Structure 1
């Protein structure tokens, strides 16, 4: 219950108690007054009536006596009058029914007034003439008591309602600063900082507002310091200080992450010896200036900028990692790179197509980082030795299917739900309890099981991501996977689902039909989110409104800031495999990754976001990341397993 309602309830109860007390005292006092009034009236009436009857009784004038009694009785104030002539024991009785106009029958049946009667003997000297007995009519008491209490209740009720309305209005004004304090506190918990709140007029609340303003400023400074720490760590450890491009360490991590996922593409290594020529002729300052200008053009003018990583790995060597690209696209990228290099060489006063060489190694299935780097370096050395601008490292591999054949196979598989599923547990760091299980799919073609690594790149290229996601989500319900165990299932959505409005509508309808939506977790890559943050927030809203959870995959892969987490507010993040680390002082690369992971965990904890570390290889690796105090882990330590249906 809110403070406003608590205070309002307390005052309401006290005011109601006071009103009830007033009504009670008014009721008892009025009743007592009416009893005394009826008793006094009864005494006066009996006395005056007996004196009035005496002359008529002395002469035996019965008619006059009856007339006098009738005059008194017809006023209706008396229930019964009884006159007994003692001479002949003749008795006259007058009675009235208790009929009370404008008074409810239930009120008159409460027996609030006891019967009041008075009996006297009328004498003439020593001679007893008659007895007179008069019984008061309680109707007058009920009528007056009802009228007075009715008026009292109406007045008090009106005062009560007016007082309550005035009290609520005044309380809202008084407690408005507290509402602002609560709003600021909620926003602070979500890392939203506003300007300082104005000082309220209430002395006690001034201290609260001052404390909140001070805390807001300090926390803003702390959170900004955390963001700056991450940015500085990235710039210091993962960025080349001259070109401001990613360095060898960042490239290594990205290669590890890229090769762990289903994809295709190529790695290009380029030797720019013409930069040494500039150094020898004009000095290192001109060389560094040229490198900066050249780096800007490499980052902005080459095609597929979102899918390509450009890094400077030594004084004159650059690396280009091209994701999600086939040979034709790689060749197009290579020609664009050669043209761009020649433009810079000509601007520097050198002959084109000289003083540089490029080695190209195309990614193959199950290739390791060391093998891909070795192939690219071999191609580079071959180009240098033969004085060519480029050389491809050819590895004879046979493609399973052509692009169009894959289209046919995948469309058919999606339409008929032919995918096979496995899942991998994500466990808590403190007790190894399963947080959720991430689902993976494979495909059987001509009796052969095709892992996701072989067809997922074509899913993206052929824009079949949203259809595959629908197929997987439908299969979760059709195959009743949610009932196999109590842990939720995580589904990794394709990047194009974020921008697909039709998928948003379909997902909302899908979640409405799911019996336990809280047992489904949705996640998508950081790259897809940062490129379409507004759409990602809309998708997150749909998911969280239904009761499901939303997570960010590959978090920390990009060089950019993590401020998008403040707007997105996911339930959990999975750190990218490029940040997989060991806490080893003898390995500078792992130690730097460890420090960066620690900063990322601190930022997420400040936003109440769960952190899951990926790429955990074995128990030793698990023990090294325990000091990070992450929430969960995932990796080859617990590989994906077949889903066993009951």
Structure 2
């Protein structure tokens, strides 16, 4: 029971007792007073009347005179009875009034009965006893007086009672409002929302409590901000170019190696190598400050062009004159259009001192399984061709044969018609070997013709049946390119939900960024979830970090609905964009999965260790557990455990196995 209700009921009970007790005492005292008045009234009447009739009582012929004198008094109605007796106790005259009371409820008379005493006086004729006179007052007038007094007392005490209730309500509000505000603030602090209580109570004790909690909230907010700033400083120091503010060569190497080795995402796309061909000339003729301005200008134009395109791209500065743009999961034509946009923008800012042109662009494709050296070599060869081309850009010649869009559309339609997917599962465990959940990776049988060389790109389970499955590194980008991503996600989730009740551990499924941006997918998934909350608790959805950065309020509400149903949320590839940290308070995921670029060889990378430790501190401050993926050695696992990472995933922890 809330404190406000306890206080209200307790004080209300006290007020009711005071109200009833005061009314009872007042009425009871009035009754005693009325009883005394009735007794005194009867005694005075008996005495005065007795003296008046005493000379006539002894003479029988004078009894009519006595009767007349008694009638004169009795007929006034203030008396219940009068009885005149002789010396032998014989009744000479007897008078009685009916025992009726007007205007007083029966229950009141029964609750507070009046019993007027009978007053008796002796009648003496000289020295001779002539008889006795008994007089009893009528209680009706006493009841009326008592009733009127009780009614007046009731209304007066009720008015005081109502006034006391109003004061009680105000008192309870004065006490509980600051306490409820403190409780609300404490809940907000536990969610890393450091609010301040604006309404400061005037009561000194409550004021001290509220001010103390406000100071604590301010200090925690400051500490959390410091942790976030520290993480940003670590990242900027290690992975950001000081001149342009974009990611540096080290960040490029980590990110690109991760893309090429990520067997889960099977990423593919295009790498654009952009070279400022006039930088050496500018540095020599105009000085390094002019050169820095040249580099900063081109960097700004590249960032603006990338921001205007609906592409999943990242800009890096890999050397003094070279920039790299990685376009993930992007088809050839959008990549070509982007390269042409870059050249168009850079030509527009070309100056006379840029004697060799502003920049040239070489572009080459990459996919899962390629090596960084081979991709850069292709892009560099294309850049050499661009330097002598009037277009100032060139696409490297492709050595691989991919499905055409028509072929991939046919293959995707077959997959959707089959309405079934196979999965392999890889466990996520803590240092005690306990499984948190198993991440499920989809695979599809090759039902249509696929290129003979595509098998080398399929590494779903690493066994001798790999050639029987479609290359996910090409299938996933094709689904994005042909607007099949949502349908494919729905198929995968529906297939997994069928197997969900039979699983001993929770399962994790990846959801694409494009699906998460669609309201229709939100509605479908909410309706497809099991009604049983225990079954929903066995489902973990992994959403990409980029979805948080580019997400809308609808995505936040969607995630909140999922968590209400019992579904757990993991934000994967976390750390690639620190802007996502600001969105964690809204989304409140259950787990963060560190980007694999920071995990690989972490035991030999002090910078990565500092950055991961700062991310872990931030996550734990938000009550979020941290998962490290792509753990492939004991040294990596030990280092991550020492950095307080909660759970590990990778080939060192467990190989992907077929689901049962």
TM-score (norm 1): 0.78
Identify the residue that residue 371 of structure 2 maps to in structure 1. Answer: 372
Residue 32 of structure 1, CA deviation = 2.6
Contact 1:87–1:129, Cα closer than 8 Å, also in 2: no
Which piece of structure 1 moves more, 385-394 or 418-427? 385-394
State the secondary structure of the residue aligned to 1:325.
coil
- Who is 1:157 aligned against? 158
Q: Does 1:313 align with 2:302?
A: no
Q: Which residue of 1 aligns with 2:549?
A: 530
- Residue 539 of structure 1 corresponds to 558
Q: 1:147 and 2:130 equivalent?
A: no
Q: Deviations over 1:103-161 (max 9, x none)?
A: 44333333655674455565545765555555565555554444323322221121121
Gaps of 5+ in 2: 449-467
Partner of residue 513, structure 2: 495
Farther off after superposition, 304-313 or 273-282: 273-282
In the TM superposition, what whole-angstrom CA distance separates every residue of 1:577-627 from its partner, at most 9, and x where no partner exists? 23325653xx2xx32122111212222333444433333346553332223
| 1:597 match | 612
Report the Cα distance in structure 1 between the residues aligned to 2:220 and 2:591, rounded to whole angstroms: 22
Distance in 2, matches of 1:602 and 1:251, equals 25
SS of equivalent to 1:155: helix
Query: 1:407 Cα shift?
Result: 3.7
**Closer, same or farther: CA 114–576 of 1 in aligned 2, 3 Å:** farther
| Residue pair 1:115, 1:136 contacting (<8 A) in 2 also | yes
Indicate the larger mover: 613-622 or 334-343: 334-343
SS at match of 1:301: helix
Write the mapping of 1:385-534 to structure 2, written as runs, cut at 5 A. 392=396, 394-396=398-400, 399=403, 402-410=404-412, 413-414=415-416, 417-420=419-422, 425-427=427-429, 429=430, 433-436=434-437, 438=439, 440-444=441-445, 446=447, 449-450=469-470, 453=473, 455-471=475-491, 479=498, 481=500, 484=503, 491-505=509-523, 515=533, 519=537, 521-534=540-553
Asked whether 1:325 is paired with 2:330, we answer yes
2-side partners of 1:79 and 1:512: how far apart? 85
1:363 aligns with 2:367: yes
Distance 1:251 1:163, change over 3 A: same
Aligned pairs for 1:26-45 (under 5 A) are 26-45=26-45
Written as runs of structure 1 = structure 2, the 5 A alignment for 1:299-310 is: 299-301=303-305, 304=309, 306-310=311-315
- For residues 345-396 of structure 1, the C-alpha deviation after alignment (integer angstroms, 9 at most, x for no partner) is 985544569x9784624315xx1xxx43132144356568989775736444
Pairing 1:229-248 to 2, within 5 Å after superposition? 229-248=230-249
Instruction: State how far apart, in whole Å, the 1-side matches of 2:485 and 2:135 are.
Output: 102
Please report how far the alpha carbon of residue 328 of structure 1 lies from its aligned counterpart in structure 2 after TM superposition: 3.6
Q: 1:417 to 1:625 in 2, by over 3 A?
A: same
Match of 1:628 in 2: 643
Give the equivalent residue in structure 2 for 1:574: 593
The answer to whether residue 316 in structure 2 is matched with residue 298 in structure 1 is: no
Q: Following TM superposition, by how much is the alpha carbon of 1:528 offset from its aligned partner in structure 2, in angstroms?
A: 2.0
State the secondary structure of the residue aligned to 1:562.
helix
Taking a change above 3 Å as real, the CA distance of residues 131 and 172 of structure 1, as seen in their structure-2 partners, is: same
Structure 1, gaps ≥5 residues long: none
Cα deviation per residue 1:325-350 (whole Å; 9 max; x = unaligned)? 23344444455566677888985544
Cα RMSD after superposing both structures:
4.6
Equivalent-residue separation in structure 2 for 1:88 and 1:164 (angstroms): 62
Query: Could you tell me which residue of structure 1 aligns to residue 462 of structure 2?
Result: none
State whether residues 84 and 131 of structure 1, in contact with CA within 8 Å, keep that contact through their aligned partners in structure 2: yes
Once residues 411 and 435 of structure 1 are traced to their aligned partners in structure 2, the CA distance between those partners, rounded to angstroms, is 35
How far apart are the structure 1 equivalents of 2:197 and 2:90? 99
Q: Is the 8 A contact 2:411 2:447 kept in 1?
A: no
- Pick closer, same or farther for the CA change 1:149–1:609 going to 2, 3 Å: farther
- Displacement of 1:77 after TM fit? 5.3
Moved more, 131-140 or 295-304: 131-140
CA distance in 2, matches of 1:539, 1:553: 17
Structure 1 residues 385, 600: closer, same or farther in 2, change over 3 A?
A: closer
Q: Report if the CA contact (8 A) 2:249-2:316 is conserved.
A: yes
Larger mean Cα displacement after TM superposition, 453-462 or 208-217: 208-217
Task: Evaluate the alpha carbon distance shift between residue 37 and residue 617 of structure 1 in structure 2; reply closer, same or farther with a 3 A threshold.
Answer: farther
Query: How far apart in 2 are the matches of 1:63 and 1:404?
Result: 137
Q: Distance in 1 between matches of 2:428 and 2:47?
A: 102
Structure 1, residues 76-124: CA drift from partner, whole Å, max 9, x if none? Answer: 6555555555669457765566544444433333365567445556554
Q: Are the structure 2 counterparts of residues 49 and 540 from structure 1 closer, same or farther at C-alpha, using a change threshold of 3 Å? A: farther
Give 1:237 deviation, angstroms.
Answer: 0.6
How much has 1:318 moved relative to structure 2?
Answer: 3.8
Aligned-pair CA distance for 1:556: 1.7
Distance 1:101 1:484 in 2: 84
Q: Residue deviations 1:436-465, cap 9 Å, x none?
A: 555554444539555755533333333344
- Once the two structures are overlaid, the 10-residue window that deviates more, 285-294 or 542-551, is 542-551
1:267 aligns with 2:282: no
In structure 1, what is the Cα distance between the partners aligned to 2:46 and 2:529?
Answer: 88
SS at match of 1:418: coil
Contact persistence 2:83–2:91 (CA under 8 A) = no
- Pairwise CA distance, 1:304: 4.3
Return 620-629 or 264-273, whichever deviates more.
Answer: 264-273
Contact 2:414 2:447 in 1 (8 A): no
Change (3 A) 1:208 1:405: same
| 1:164-183 paired onto structure 2 within 5 Å | 164-169=165-170, 172=173
SS at 2:330's partner residue?
coil
| Structure 1 residues 49 and 567: CA distance shift in structure 2, 3 A | same
Alpha-carbon distance, 1:8 to partner: 5.6
Q: Give the C-alpha shift of residue 526 in structure 1.
A: 2.1
- How many residues in Structure 1 have an aligned counterpart in Structure 2? 629
